[in-house]
Structure 1
């Protein structure tokens, strides 16, 4: 069980009903703190286009359908869906096929800020598909939101041509119950993340990730059309030890962890309160990912590799330590703030992230040098 606030207790299985990236357009919102994800996605465009070149062109009597799983609430998803649709439109034209209509599904958990996302969507433009595709200021596809966990079924059978999911699959469906159980050998005492945890705890997270990924693959195998493809990107690691989470470990297991310890040492929260909170993230190794894909057997691997993603911190003035500190705090808050707010309340959450910023400011130079992400990139299709 995980505590929310002071009086309300909620099961980890309720995570999919409450979790989201931080919505709105404020300083710590995901919309204003996802520039790094945009840069990382742009660096992988050539890999995405390789995947798209392998997608079978469907009959123009049916819409060509794209789904972004874990779309969140910023402009990145809109940009990437536009890239996918324009690339496929050019393929239809180059191969002499009539261009079909396009549709795009933006999917995330029910608590996602779909309102902010849809406000960013350009209007659908033009009387014909050709006019829509020729316009840079209008949308060339029909759009819809699909709330739900991508670890379960989301779409009708054989209805999607391209699945795209970036920077989402490292988020688990839940924190394993035993990690928060004082009587368990997997109890993650004193930590809010598995970076540096004992072997049993780390392997418990690994098993949760692999069970979740298995559910994801089984669901998509039913929903994807014959000839379709999936392009997946998630946080990864280059080492074999699951307790060394690489860049994710530096993001959640250093200054963020220390800030929680500050609140405990200052008597603002009890140690039990800290210990009942864990970040539901697992950065897999290539082998962790490959094991699940091969065991499931639903998909053929076209490409599976680890790529360097660079830093998650985007700053205008690299010599400004305070700006780097704020950037780290806002980066943490944009992705975990909803969970933190629910667990300790808004006021203590403000205190926590203020300490994250302060600690990061004092280690700004080291952060810029050391905080680097790796990503697992997978291109999959049906046999």
Structure 2
């Protein structure tokens, strides 16, 4: 990408992905915190799975992870879902069915890295018991499905369980008014909505709610009757949408300051900075609930804010340089692809060096204050 590229909303779907590969700044190597947060919510996931209607054993059971990205977290959660459903069949004295798992994300996702992590398929010519006993093998057929989950992805009444974690806070686009200099919602001087004007934040909120409504409409067609959805996304405890909590600290402090550094050093123009915004919105419970209730297709079995903890996993908490590096890598793993496209690889490298430098000087403070909260929703069809 050249230095003068502006990532338009039309390009966002084509470009957006977590950073692929297996390098230091990759998502695969910077998603340990997400794994820890997901594990702390396993009891809620299993509770949701207990409400799924079991199909006849001669019908395949279909699981989807939406926003799968390219690390091992998605494989672990699909494995957990299928093993839990198998236990439910066995508890009823029924033979488990065959299982299919679809891993879905935007077309730019690094599916190659993901599929290299998949264990080999167990021999389906043998019994399910032998299949499950096979070490380091999977007991399900796997496929990748590229596309936006804000649109249809599957045939009607095809899916038993939809799972999506740490993805729905990513918007389909930056609100157009946020990038429009003529608009009162123009986010001048900022690259995120944390601390922005109320008008700007409401533009993000409206985009989130529009996107979530599209997501629900699509899933309402694709989900089987008796199926279930378990959704996790970044959330916030404040009613104020300009206070984005953990997401605000990730993208609205040292990341923001690093962009300002590039402007002040004459490496990029202020207009270049202002034409970049992170397309993320951490909703409140009310933001989420309003959309589900307005759609009317789904009953809310559970909707709560769950404290996930820090997104930083460090071996030596007292080592400020390790904390700074962890923050920069965490930030880069989720936003690096967009930054690269907007200002080019060379300036992107400069930006994240400054993120690391600034975060290092606030290491202790970051570990104490940087906490993520998640919206956890368990949904099934309304009666």
TM-score class normalised by the smaller sequence: over 0.9
In the alignment, what sits opposite 1:205?
Answer: 204
1:78 aligns with 2:65: no
1:222 aligns with 2:221: yes
Mean Cα deviation higher: 4-13 or 373-382: 4-13
State TM-score, norm by structure 2. 0.98
SS in structure 2 at match of 1:351 = helix
1:57 aligns with 2:38: no
In the alignment, what sits opposite 1:97?
Answer: 94
Stretches of structure 1 that go unaligned for 5 or more consecutive residues are none
Mean Cα deviation higher: 7-16 or 74-83: 7-16
In the alignment, what sits opposite 2:377?
Answer: 378
In the alignment, what sits opposite 1:238?
Answer: 237
Matches within 5 A, 1:307-322: 307-322=306-321
- How far apart, in 2, do the equivalents of 1:319 and 1:11 lie? 41
State TM-score, norm by structure 1. 0.98
8 Å contact 1:179–1:188 — kept in the other structure?
yes
Question: Cα offset for 1:211?
Answer: 0.2
In the alignment, what sits opposite 2:255?
Answer: 256
Question: Cα offset for 1:142?
Answer: 0.1
- Cα displacement string for residues 67-123 of structure 1 (whole angstroms, at most 9, x for unaligned residues): 000000000000000000000001000011221000000000000000000000000
SS in structure 1 at match of 2:377 = strand
- How far apart, in 2, do the equivalents of 1:378 and 1:198 lie? 29
In the alignment, what sits opposite 1:18?
Answer: 15
Question: Cα offset for 1:133?
Answer: 2.0
- Cα displacement string for residues 268-324 of structure 1 (whole angstroms, at most 9, x for unaligned residues): 000000000000000000000000000001100000000100000000111111000
Runs of 4+ in 1 over 6 A off after TM superposition: none
In the alignment, what sits opposite 1:302?
Answer: 301
In the alignment, what sits opposite 2:158?
Answer: 159
Question: Cα offset for 1:9?
Answer: 4.6
Would you say how many aligned residue pairs link Structure 1 and Structure 2? 380
RMSD: 0.9
In the alignment, what sits opposite 1:110?
Answer: 107
- How far apart, in 1, do the equivalents of 2:241 and 2:6 lie? 29
Question: Cα offset for 1:7?
Answer: 4.1
In the alignment, what sits opposite 2:170?
Answer: 171
- How far apart, in 1, do the equivalents of 2:2 and 2:175 lie? 20
In the alignment, what sits opposite 1:194?
Answer: 193
- How far apart, in 2, do the equivalents of 1:105 and 1:297 lie? 26
8 Å contact 1:31–1:73 — kept in the other structure?
yes
8 Å contact 2:4–2:343 — kept in the other structure?
no
In the alignment, what sits opposite 2:341?
Answer: 342
8 Å contact 2:5–2:341 — kept in the other structure?
no
8 Å contact 2:312–2:330 — kept in the other structure?
yes
- How far apart, in 2, do the equivalents of 1:336 and 1:9 lie? 15
- How far apart, in 2, do the equivalents of 1:93 and 1:265 lie? 64
- Cα displacement string for residues 2-56 of structure 1 (whole angstroms, at most 9, x for unaligned residues): xx74344553122111110000000000000000000000000000000000000
